[in-house]
Structure 1
Amino acid sequence: MRARPPRELAELPYAHRLTPFIGRIEREGTYDWLHFDGCVFEDVDGGSSGFTESAFSGVTFTRGRYRRAQFDDVWLHTVRVVGADLAETTWMDSECDEVVLAGTEISGSRMNRVTFHNCKFDSVNTRLAKLRNVSFVDCLLRDVDFGGATLINVTFPGSTLDRAHFDNVKLTNVDLRKAAGLSIASGLESLKGATISTCQLLDMAPALAQALGLTVKDD
């Protein structure tokens, strides 16, 4: 089943409660019912902060440390995250639309009921992350490292995985059939628990045979 289309700001159930964010993000801060609009955060330490029922639009995060921050029912639109540390963060019931993550650390993070629409992931470290009920819709995932991660009920409709790493992943009900492109750089032998199409299997056959140590010879 395809994920629902991305919502607009006014469609959020808490939109009427939002107030403009003024000030700065601080470590262990609490941020509820806020609209972060056009903000630029550079080298900010927002570790262990909590964001609940808040919206981010046109926001840029450059570097900065947000380790162990919590994002509960948040909405992100046209947000850029470059070189930031989001390791061990927790994401619940959240939606990201046209978000760009480049050189970003989200290793050890936990995501449940999160949808990414039209997002771009470039050299993102998601090692040891735990993703449950997550959808990547029409996204580009380039050089994304899922090494050692756990993925449960994860789908990739319309998305392109380019040189993805799946070393030692644990997959349960992961559906890759509707991915627009599937290029796996490493970890083919760890894809147990994933569902792929016949065409994808044929495309991957040479690399899969090599990963499994199979020799294919025709007389």
Structure 2
Amino acid sequence: MTVPDELADLPYADLLSPHSGPLTVEGDYDSAHFDRLVFEDDDAAGARFLECAVTDCTFTGANLRRARVNELWATGSRLTGVTLAESDWQDSSLTACSLAGVEAFGAVLRRVVLRRCKLDSVNLRSARLFDVVFEDCVLRDVDFGEARLEGVSFPGSRLERARLGRATLKKADLRGALAIDLADGYESLRGATISTAQLLDLAPALALTLGITVKDR
């Protein structure tokens, strides 16, 4: 999936119209441009976003549970304490965005790219990720417990205290990750591809998980 670097490069850039005002429950946002707006505790449960752009916005405590997001392009935005539980994302991208304390359990992401993003304490438990790319991101205390990661990759990214307990990985590519630090779920790496260097780094934790005692003498 090719991600445009500039707003003007979006295939639907000429169709965008500025949005003002709060978000609403089951709101329908088609070709809307959210620019330098602040959304605090807005309730937009079940809202639909199609071919939208989000630039330099702040979302605090907003409720976007079960939102449907298709072809959304976001950059320079911050999400804090936002609920994205059971939301559905397709063909979208987030660049240079910050997500902290975001609840995204049960969400579905298909062909989504996160580039130069920071994810801190994001809950993705039981989420389903298909062909998702985390590029040059920091994922700190991100919970993938019981999630399904299929065709997911982490080029240039760092996983710090990530949780993979009871997660299912299929064709997940971790070779490009700069660091793989798991709080739990080493056994869930079955189905992932890692490099030889990463295997050597993970060997002690994998041995401990499998109950292997390593002694040279």
* TM bucket, shorter chain: over 0.9
1:190 aligned residue = 188
- Separation in 1 of the partners of 2:69 and 2:189? 29
| Kept after mapping to 2: 8 A contact 1:6/1:97 | no
2:165 aligned residue = 167
| Kept after mapping to 1: 8 A contact 2:54/2:73 | yes
1:108-160 superposed Cα distances (whole Å, 9 cap, x missing partner): 00000100110000010000000001000000000100000001100000001
State TM-score, norm by structure 1.
0.97
- Separation in 2 of the partners of 1:153 and 1:117? 16
| Kept after mapping to 2: 8 A contact 1:29/1:48 | yes
2:178 aligned residue = 180
Aligned match for 1:208, one of 195, 206, 209: 206
Superposed displacement of residue 6, structure 1: 4.6
- Separation in 2 of the partners of 1:208 and 1:24? 48
2:60 aligned residue = 62
- Separation in 2 of the partners of 1:71 and 1:9? 18
Moved over 6 A (4+): none
Query: Does 2:5 match 1:33?
Result: no
| Kept after mapping to 2: 8 A contact 1:55/1:76 | yes
Superposed displacement of residue 218, structure 1: 1.8
| Kept after mapping to 1: 8 A contact 2:3/2:93 | no
What is the identity percentage for the equivalent residue pairs of Structure 1 and Structure 2? 50
| Kept after mapping to 2: 8 A contact 1:93/1:114 | yes
Aligned match for 1:155, one of 132, 153, 156: 153
> Unpaired segments of 5 or more residues in structure 2?
none
2:128 aligned residue = 130
Matches within 5 A, 1:67-146: 67-146=65-144
2:6 aligned residue = 8
Superposed displacement of residue 4, structure 1: 4.5
Q: RMSD in angstroms over aligned alpha carbons?
A: 1.0
The aligned length equals: 217
Residue 169 of structure 1 aligns to which amino acid in structure 2?
A
State TM-score, norm by structure 2.
0.98
Superposed displacement of residue 181, structure 1: 1.2
| Kept after mapping to 2: 8 A contact 1:164/1:184 | yes
